[in-house]
């Protein structure tokens, strides 16, 4: 199984235009992956991690975007107790 290191995210406007959520990620080599590609890869047994300022966290799948009433799915996230620097939502944009 492979390990992918995510250093940046792509955000997209939600269907209701009320917030932005993760549309995809960019890895350390600059490759872009959609949210669905990351979920499929995790489900296939690969590991995805964030990396920022010397911190890292494991990316997990989630059923839906964490914003109330947002039905974007499937979704990806890091654990909420991770440091802010490696939180998937806080990474720089690619």
What pLDDT score was predicted for residue 69? 85
What pLDDT score was predicted for residue 81? 65
What pLDDT score was predicted for residue 82? 65
Query: Which residues, in sequence order, are CB contacts of 20 under 8 Å at separation 6+?
Result: 11, 12, 13, 14
What pLDDT score was predicted for residue 45? 98
What pLDDT score was predicted for residue 29? 93
Domain boundaries, the chain: 3-90
Residue 84's closest CA among 52, 47, 49, 48?
52
By DSSP bridging, strand 3-13 and strand 47-52 are parallel
What pLDDT score was predicted for residue 79? 80
Tell me the average confidence (pLDDT) per consecutive run of 10 residues in the chain, 94 residues long.
95 91 94 98 97 88 89 88 76 92
**Is the Cβ–Cβ distance between 60 and 48 less than 8 Å?**
no
């Amino acid at each position: 199984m492979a390990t992918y290191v995510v250093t940046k995210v792509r955000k997209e406007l939600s269907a209701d235009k009320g917030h932005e959520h993760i549309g995809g990620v960019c890895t350390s080599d600059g490759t872009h992956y959609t949210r669905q590609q990351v979920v499929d890869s995790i489900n296939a047994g690969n590991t995805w991690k964030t990396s920022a300022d010397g911190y890292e966290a494991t990316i997990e799948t989630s059923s839906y975007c964490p914003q109330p009433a947002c039905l974007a799915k499937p979704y990806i996230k890091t654990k909420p107790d991770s440091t802010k620097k490696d939180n998937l939502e806080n990474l720089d944009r690619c």
